[in-house]
A and B are shown apart, each in its own frame.
Chain A
Amino acid sequence: MKNFDLIKLPFNKNNPITVQVLGVCSCLAVTAQLKPAVVMSLSVIVVVVLANLIVSLLRNTIPPRIRIIVQLVVVSTLVVLVDQVLKAYVYDVSKQLSVFVGLIITNCIVMGRLEAFAMVQKPWSSFLDGIGNGLGYSVILIALGFTRELFGSGTLWGYPVMERLGLYNIGYENNGLMIMPPMALILTGLIIWWQRSRNKDLQES
């Protein structure tokens, strides 16, 4: 696979959420608003890239029978380490992140990429694969966060868009279903539907 494809494919034909269907749990949990969705995206990009790199470097020494546990130790050490450093030097960022720590460690995308890619590929390819999948995940997360916050709370990044547009005065109301997790699943389903209808390769006969 060409290096550029490693970055490009996760955006469409090999998107971690809509095609690999990984990381759906966190995608439902943190997209009620745009800001946490962006924070989560950035955190996952950093973790998936570093974990891919480390596991790829270790890949020939890891005993196959306990590989999942080894991957888990690498990922959780990495996440806790980053959180500790942030807590000491950039306390505000760490406060934003604290609730996500558990969600990052158990994110199936991280484990999925380690298992499917980094265990059998060279470090540089694994590094790029991490970036690609991290970004592919971010695109979906941000799209969901944008839609859910705008229609569910009438705000964007906390800015009261709908109020400023004066829509409440003419009878507009926020859709309470938007901020509930089931709506995130429905929206994800709509994205998958739209993507598959446009892409012949993804259609199963």
Chain B
Amino acid sequence: MAKKTFSNTYIFIYSAALVVVAALILTVVSVSLKPLQQKNQAAETKQMILKTIGVEATRDNADALYAQHITEQDGYYAFSGGIVLPLRGTGLWGPIWGYLALDGSSTVVGAIFDHKGETPGLGGEISSEKFAQQFIGKKMDTQPIALRKNADRDNAYEVDAISGGTMTSNGVTDMLESAYNDYQSLPRPTSQTSPTEEERKEATE
């Protein structure tokens, strides 16, 4: 037995067979479970968007509630009180994303964040309720919201960053900034704010 397992032919056949079997199992499982997984992911996105406008949905009733409350527009989602901005960015280890619900005066009424693989307990904290709650009442009108150390609670443009999660926090700040730039180019639901310096610059360009 021992002799046989040392021969090169045996090693080649063994490793080839092992890899083929493993690949086969994974492919069959992945292909057969894909529809279920995609359904779960789609429902989760709808749940997240609904949550920012204060509607708690379960995975089963997310479709119905979404159809009832949200109208999808080009680059954003409209609801009765304003719009929901999608956020996309990169954290330390992988993609991070979120949704920000803004009312007519660009004040945040709801926020939610999630991540693919940030460190649990540190950068991973962006997906917590506590972190998202900080955004409520902040503003996206004349400048983007940024994450800072020891942020001033009364300042409408900053929220507390995560201790031990600096790289992820910087990623969130960048993500908010790029969402802010997109937001500037969107048609405003109501024009309560006067055009900002940046907007004027954009208009003249």
| Cβ contact within 8 Å between A84 and B121 | no
Contacts A65-B6, A91-B44 given: A30-B121 contact, CB under 8 Å? yes
| Cβ contact within 8 Å between B33 and A88 | yes
Q: Does A189 sit at the interface, judged by CB under 8 A?
A: no
Q: Does A77 sit at the interface, judged by CB under 8 A?
A: yes
How would residues 1 to 39 of chain B score, 1 for a CB under 8 Å from any chain A CB and 0 otherwise? 100011000110011001100100110011001001100
| Cβ contact within 8 Å between A85 and B29 | yes
| Cβ contact within 8 Å between B37 and A32 | no
Q: Does A69 sit at the interface, judged by CB under 8 A?
A: yes
Q: Does B120 sit at the interface, judged by CB under 8 A?
A: yes
Docked complex Cα distance between A70 and B190 (Å)? 63
| Cβ contact within 8 Å between B22 and A84 | no
Which residues of B sit under 8 angstroms from A99, Cβ to Cβ?
Answer: 93, 116-120, 124
Which residues of A sit under 8 angstroms from B1, Cβ to Cβ?
Answer: 60
Q: Which of B55-75 contact A (CB under 8 A)?
A: 59
Among residues of B, the one whose C-beta sits closest to the C-beta of A70 is B18
Contacts A81-B26, A84-B30, A180-B164 given: A61-B120 contact, CB under 8 Å? no
Which residues of B sit under 8 angstroms from A69, Cβ to Cβ?
Answer: 15
Docked complex Cα distance between A149 and B120 (Å)? 12
| Cβ contact within 8 Å between A66 and B120 | no
Docked complex Cα distance between A84 and B122 (Å)? 25
| Cβ contact within 8 Å between B120 and A64 | no
Q: Which of B104-147 contact A (CB under 8 A)?
A: 116-122, 124, 128
| Cβ contact within 8 Å between B11 and A65 | yes
Docked complex Cα distance between A88 and B116 (Å)? 17
- Tell me what chain B mostly uses at the interface: helix, strand, loop, or mixed: helix
Which residues of B sit under 8 angstroms from A64, Cβ to Cβ?
Answer: 5-6
| Cβ contact within 8 Å between A85 and B33 | yes
Which residues of B sit under 8 angstroms from A176, Cβ to Cβ?
Answer: 163-164
Q: Which of B15, B44, B117 contacts A70 (CB 8 A)?
A: B15
Which residues of B sit under 8 angstroms from A81, Cβ to Cβ?
Answer: 25-26, 29
Q: Does B181 sit at the interface, judged by CB under 8 A?
A: no
The bracket for how many chain A residues form the interface is 35 or more
| Cβ contact within 8 Å between B26 and A98 | no
Which residues of B sit under 8 angstroms from A66, Cβ to Cβ?
Answer: 11, 14-15
| Cβ contact within 8 Å between B5 and A63 | yes
Q: Which of B22, B36, B119, B164 contacts A73 (CB 8 A)?
A: B22
| Cβ contact within 8 Å between A89 and B36 | yes
Q: Does A179 sit at the interface, judged by CB under 8 A?
A: yes
| Cβ contact within 8 Å between A88 and B37 | yes
Docked complex Cα distance between A98 and B95 (Å)? 13
Among residues of A, the one whose C-beta sits closest to the C-beta of B93 is A99
Q: Does A36 sit at the interface, judged by CB under 8 A?
A: yes
Which residues of A sit under 8 angstroms from B18, Cβ to Cβ?
Answer: 70, 73
Which residues of A sit under 8 angstroms from B163, Cβ to Cβ?
Answer: 176, 179
Q: Which of A60-90 contact B (CB under 8 A)?
A: 60-66, 69-70, 73-74, 77, 80-81, 84-85, 87-89
Q: Does A33 sit at the interface, judged by CB under 8 A?
A: yes
Which residues of B sit under 8 angstroms from A31, Cβ to Cβ?
Answer: 121
Q: Chain B: residues with CB nearer than 8 A to chain A?
A: 1, 5-6, 10-11, 14-15, 18-19, 22, 25-26, 29-30, 33, 36-37, 40, 44, 59, 93, 116-122, 124, 128, 163-164
Instruction: Please give 5 more A-B residue pairs, beta carbons under 8 A apart, in addition to A29-B119, A91-B40, A102-B117.
Output: A63-B15, A69-B15, A88-B37, A99-B120, A176-B164
**27 pairs from A and B in contact (CB 8 Å cutoff):** A29-B119, A30-B120, A30-B121, A36-B120, A63-B5, A66-B11, A70-B15, A70-B18, A74-B22, A77-B22, A81-B26, A81-B29, A84-B37, A85-B29, A87-B33, A89-B36, A91-B37, A91-B40, A98-B116, A98-B117, A99-B93, A99-B117, A99-B118, A99-B120, A102-B117, A176-B164, A179-B163
